[in-house]
Structure 1
Amino acid sequence: MKVYSGWFAAMLGVLISYDALAESAHVAVAANFRQSMQALVTELEKDSNHKYILSFGSSGKFYGQILHGAPYDLFFSADAVKPKAIANRGLAVSESRFTYATGRLVLLSSRMELAEPARDILTRGTFNKLAIANPKFAPYGVATLEVLEFLDRYEITKSKWVLGENIAQAYQFVDSGNAELGFVALSQVIHQKKYAGVFWLIPDSWHKPIEQQAIMLNKAKNNAAALALINFIKSNKGQNILTNYGYLTPENY
């Protein structure tokens, strides 16, 4: 689903006059989007005077902070619900809300020395701990529960769950070996050489789409750095970076 508007097209013209001015933007970013956002900003700063302050965490925590007046300029959520809710509360520029990517879920095993695939470990129950992102705060956690329901493994595995505050912490549980299995984002492992070929990509049809949306907060309406980042993400170059990190973009889903 795309959410575009005439407002954004009009504001792009502002960039021509603003681009020469060095501005900064404080960006709240869902944990699963860490590597991708860092890659995007690194590339953008090569050809721009703008600077970006990036904060990473769970979408739920950022949502709460924004409701209490946190001074972010942009919010990149791991879902579509929270940006829409922020807009409905009059805290953001409604017309700026757009879907920047759709996330993909994988099951990762820390048992790299074993030939047993992650799916078989989950099915047979031959593990002690399963790391998942807390569904109260993280959309990837919600998708994980839907997958476990689909596989009829929700109740069977519940006593083994280890909840991470966000998808980054769920990944850390597996990466450190504290959990044998974990549901994490494809973007977290796609470029990790040590995990090449040892994760299981969950079929997208097994859970609702992890539609990730961004929105501009009111204070950034005329912030050239914020506008430049949105514009770059929507460009072919930005979309290619997201695809490279394992996301589905509006053009390929």
Structure 2
Amino acid sequence: MPTEVEPTTSNDLFERGPKKVLDESTRAVIKRLHEKEGKGIRELARDFSVSRNTIKRCLNSSYVKNRKKSPNQMFLQKHYEQIKQMYYEHEGFCIPLQRTIKEQFKFDIGLRMLERFCQPFRKALKNEKAQRDRAIRFETQPGDQMQIDYGEKDLILGAKRTRIYFFVSKLGYSRRIFAKAYLNKKEASWLDGIESAFYYFGGLPITLVSDNDRSLLGVDHKEHITTFNQGYQHFIDYYGLHAVRTRVRHP
């Protein structure tokens, strides 16, 4: 004989189903319907497809208080200052920060959660960068000038910390940028970077502007002055360019 099964009511389904999170505006509507229109808890639970306990929490203003934080949220709050510092060390990139947190703390934080948590840090970093980069724009004619410089960054390559040097060139009029990575910034790397920029931009500028980098400079002992070294000067003459050197960070 098959056993009889009790019919399942709609309220039982609400009680047993997955919990539904109500936002602030929905909770305000529930309160208004209860206080102004006199709707009961059972009716509201049916209308909004939630449990009666959820409706009760909305009405007695304990809904938010009773919500428990996830382990990941508790971890982020507990290590607030440390993660903030790590975010700055990763230059505002959450993907490598997520990987570092997993390696150091054995916590796998979701990328979207981490991005939301770091949003205030991102705004602060953006404001700092805007103030640091604020400068007077130096205007040139099209094709007149290309500025060249090097930056450097320590990266982990093959589980080994390696310093990478980035040749960067920028056109004075359009502000278009070309960059290429090297393991050093010797004269050969400079010349290869400049020539690669010519191919990338599809032409030659009239003037090359660099700072007083030692890889490009030599000393004229007769005149007791510092000038471009023989290799760089030969490169400039070969392409028929004019070269200008400036103080560091003041092109």
TM category, shorter: under 0.3
Normalising by structure 2, we get a TM-score of 0.20
**TM superposition score normalised by structure 1:** 0.20
